[in-house]
Structure 1
Amino acid sequence: MLRLLAELIPGLLGGYLLGRFKPGWVKPLATPLVRYGVPISLMGLLLKGGLNSSLLSTAATAAAAIFGMLLVLRRWRRESDQWLSPTLQLGSCVGNTAYFGIPVALALLPPEALSISIGYDFGATLLSWGLGPIWLAGSSQEAHPHRWRVLIHHLSSSPASRGLLGALLVMATPWQTTITSALWMPSRVVIVLALIVVGMRLAGLSEERSEATHNTAAPIAPSQALNAALGCKLLLFPALVLGLTLVLPISAFARQALVLQAAAPTAISVLLMAETEQADSSAAAQLIWRSTLLAIVTVPIWAVLLKTLGERLGT
């Protein structure tokens, strides 16, 4: 956890300071990060974990769990007061697996769990970047006469799809090992840049709060909705995945890997999508910030509970 904090805090702090002085740099940095950075990062993870049936089944499990949670949240949403916006719904189940969950798995689980964690990240990334832009658009997309074409378009053009295609092309060459090693450093750069974008957005959010304190007509932050989203992301969704893993015939370390990925804080990609889709980016930034701080406490608790459960089940 100390290593994780050492990687997390400098990027957030540097981005915060940069955002205070250069607030207009957020979107110019976020756009190429989404277009090029995410595919490169995912390519590196897929090549490292290896594309096999186990990874694909784990990806399908992750995608099914996230989509099921989204449907539950949409049904739960109260249309009269718009309690949980599409942004908060997405942030309640799409976790920061690549930059938080996988490092946690490496620190707390055996090496065999890496492929499970990467499979979860791939499934979650593919679903979130494919469905996320449509989901953030809200009910207007539901009435779209060609919504299935829109969905297919987003899936085919998503960073996750490009990352998968790139990984498949690399695996077809005799230089797979060399390219996999070469992609690791760019993947690390993507992590730093993503954290900087979050820090820059948080700087803008702090300025908005400062202006709101001097403007009585400014909208009040929906604290109840944020608290509900936090509870869903850090407690309810991991519990849902835990219940799912108890039904599936999987090993104890696979169960631990899946639940720890589900318990990761809200993904940075939710903020990036909110920025590019003109959605509620302020709520996304608040949810990322709060869930990341709280996950430093809740994720180790989940790890202890999973270890105790594994001992009692004898698996």
Structure 2
Amino acid sequence: MPDVDLSQSLWMLLAFVALGWVAARRLKLDPRPIATLLIYLISPLTFFNALTQGQPSIDKLALTFGVVLLSSLLCLAVNAVAGRFYAEQERALLAFSAGTGNTGYFGFPIALVLLPPEGVTQYLFCMLGISLYEFTVGFYISARGQFSVRESLSRLARLPLIYAFAGGMLISALGWQVPQPVSEGLGYFKYCFTVLGMMIIGMTLGRISWRAVDVAFVVGCVVTRFVVWPLATLALAVALRLLGDASDSLVLAFLLVGAVPMAANVVVIAMELNIRPEKGAIAVLLTTLAAPLLIPLYLGLVLPWVLAL
């Protein structure tokens, strides 16, 4: 594995968190409208543009829906187990976080360094699977921590990312091309998502006291993100390798998806649904700080073994 310096990505992300903290403390900004903006405008447009630019194929979409299935199974499993140990809202938030990770603005820069162009494309379609999970199964399970089944389904049906996915798939299937000026304009939204997604963590932290730290919740998040996910993606990579269907780049893409820290969308969704966003923000920050130490160690240990199969 190449020697990857993660410090630059880490400091960039932490700088955005710090800006969010200053905005909440000094400017008294409310992060909730920003969370709504991310969910209902920025995320769908970013997702739509990625689909129309990525030229989906059967093999690539199999990666996307395979990751959706894996994420959903982990979410449902943690949701069932966590009900014995956590209150309703904490259980819902932990279940949502169990199915997702910061594959975008944390994992993607690493993928660009580690993977060849083919592997980067494979990683992108895995990343799309994470996003699709967040705004379907993940959103519904989170909403159930606060709302009835009917209200949860109603809120899910109003999410534009689902329709952005359908629209992007339709345009790709018909072979249409998005006009270049439109595509370039949509491309800016991914940067908005990166900056605002990390700033919202800082804004949430700026409005709470560290006495709000829930050790049991943080432990649950760390175990699901840094134990359950790496083991699940490792098992999948080994299985595909033994079946002879996994290239070296695909193996590394799967392993990287399993090793990234918690997603900032944990805070975004929690804020939109009002289910303990402060607890999510603390857990996201702590796992982000730990990731630069754990990712090289994990990949260095398991990657040579899997590639030798």
Q: Do Structure 1 and Structure 2 share a fold, with TM-score over 0.5?
A: yes
Counterpart for residue 3 of structure 2 = none
Counterpart for residue 247 of structure 2 = 251
User: Percent identity between the aligned chains?
Assistant: 21
Q: Distance in 1 between the 2:91 and 2:292 partners?
A: 25
Query: Is the contact between residue 12 and residue 198 of structure 1 (CA under 8 Å) also seen in structure 2?
Result: yes
Q: Identify which range, 122-131 or 18-27, moves more after superposition.
A: 18-27
Q: Given the two structures, how large is their TM-score scaled by the length of structure 2?
A: 0.85
Query: Is the contact between residue 62 and residue 120 of structure 1 (CA under 8 Å) also seen in structure 2?
Result: yes
Q: 2:206 corresponds to which letter in structure 1?
A: A
Instruction: Give 1:65 shift.
Output: 0.9
Distance 1:197 1:225, change over 3 A: closer
Q: Distance in 1 between the 2:162 and 2:145 partners?
A: 25
Residue 49, structure 1, aligned to residue 54, structure 2: yes
Q: Distance in 2 between the 1:274 and 1:175 partners?
A: 33
Instruction: Give 1:159 shift.
Output: 4.2
Counterpart for residue 167 of structure 1 = 168
Q: 1:106 corresponds to which letter in structure 2?
A: L
Counterpart for residue 286 of structure 1 = 282
Distance 1:78 1:34, change over 3 A: closer
Secondary structure of the corresponding residue to residue 31 of structure 2:
helix
What per-residue deviation string (whole Å, max 9, x for no partner) do you get for residues 156-178 of structure 1? 54343233245346645444555
Select 1:260's aligned residue among 256, 263, 267: 256
Counterpart for residue 101 of structure 2 = 95
Instruction: Give 1:133 shift.
Output: 3.0
Q: Distance in 2 between the 1:32 and 1:191 partners?
A: 13
Select 2:298's aligned residue among 296, 302, 309: 302
Instruction: Give 1:36 shift.
Output: 0.6
* Structure 2: gaps of 5 or more residues: 1-5
Q: 1:102 corresponds to which letter in structure 2?
A: F
Q: 1:129 corresponds to which letter in structure 2?
A: F
Q: Distance in 2 between the 1:202 and 1:227 partners?
A: 18
Instruction: Give 1:35 shift.
Output: 0.9
Q: Distance in 2 between the 1:81 and 1:311 partners?
A: 39
Counterpart for residue 82 of structure 2 = 77
Q: 1:100 corresponds to which letter in structure 2?
A: F
Select 2:15's aligned residue among 10, 13, 32: 10
Counterpart for residue 199 of structure 2 = 196
What per-residue deviation string (whole Å, max 9, x for no partner) do you get for residues 26-46 of structure 1? 112221121111112222332
Q: Given the two structures, how large is their TM-score scaled by the length of structure 1?
A: 0.84
Instruction: Give 1:301 shift.
Output: 1.9
Select 1:117's aligned residue among 123, 126, 134: 123
Give matches, 1:169-184, under 5 Å: 171=172, 172-176=175-179, 179-184=182-187
Instruction: Give 1:61 shift.
Output: 1.1
Select 1:185's aligned residue among 188, 208, 230: 188
Query: Is the contact between residue 75 and residue 138 of structure 2 (CA under 8 Å) also seen in structure 1?
Result: no
Secondary structure of the corresponding residue to residue 71 of structure 1:
helix
Query: Is the contact between residue 46 and residue 118 of structure 1 (CA under 8 Å) also seen in structure 2?
Result: no
> How many aligned positions are there?
297
Q: Distance in 2 between the 1:180 and 1:189 partners?
A: 15
Q: 1:162 corresponds to which letter in structure 2?
A: Y
Instruction: Give 1:139 shift.
Output: 6.2
Instruction: Give 1:239 shift.
Output: 1.0
Distance 1:70 1:174, change over 3 A: closer
Residue 276, structure 1, aligned to residue 268, structure 2: no
Instruction: Give 1:298 shift.
Output: 1.4
Q: 1:243 corresponds to which letter in structure 2?
A: A
Instruction: Give 1:24 shift.
Output: 4.1
Q: Distance in 2 between the 1:196 and 1:140 partners?
A: 25
Residue 133, structure 1, aligned to residue 139, structure 2: yes
Counterpart for residue 63 of structure 2 = 58
Counterpart for residue 42 of structure 2 = 37
Q: CA RMSD in A?
A: 2.6
Distance 1:135 1:124, change over 3 A: same
* Structure 1: gaps of 5 or more residues: 213-219
Q: Distance in 2 between the 1:168 and 1:63 partners?
A: 16
Q: 1:57 corresponds to which letter in structure 2?
A: A
Residue 228, structure 1, aligned to residue 220, structure 2: yes
What per-residue deviation string (whole Å, max 9, x for no partner) do you get for residues 270-290 of structure 1? 111111111111111111111
Q: Distance in 2 between the 1:15 and 1:67 partners?
A: 30
Q: Identify which range, 160-169 or 62-71, moves more after superposition.
A: 160-169
Instruction: Give 1:242 shift.
Output: 1.3
Instruction: Give 1:17 shift.
Output: 0.7
Query: Is the contact between residue 75 and residue 97 of structure 2 (CA under 8 Å) also seen in structure 1?
Result: no
Instruction: Give 1:155 shift.
Output: 5.3
What per-residue deviation string (whole Å, max 9, x for no partner) do you get for residues 229-258 of structure 1? 212102221211210222222222102101
Query: Is the contact between residue 256 and residue 306 of structure 1 (CA under 8 Å) also seen in structure 2?
Result: no
Select 1:22's aligned residue among 21, 27, 30: 27
Distance 1:239 1:23, change over 3 A: farther
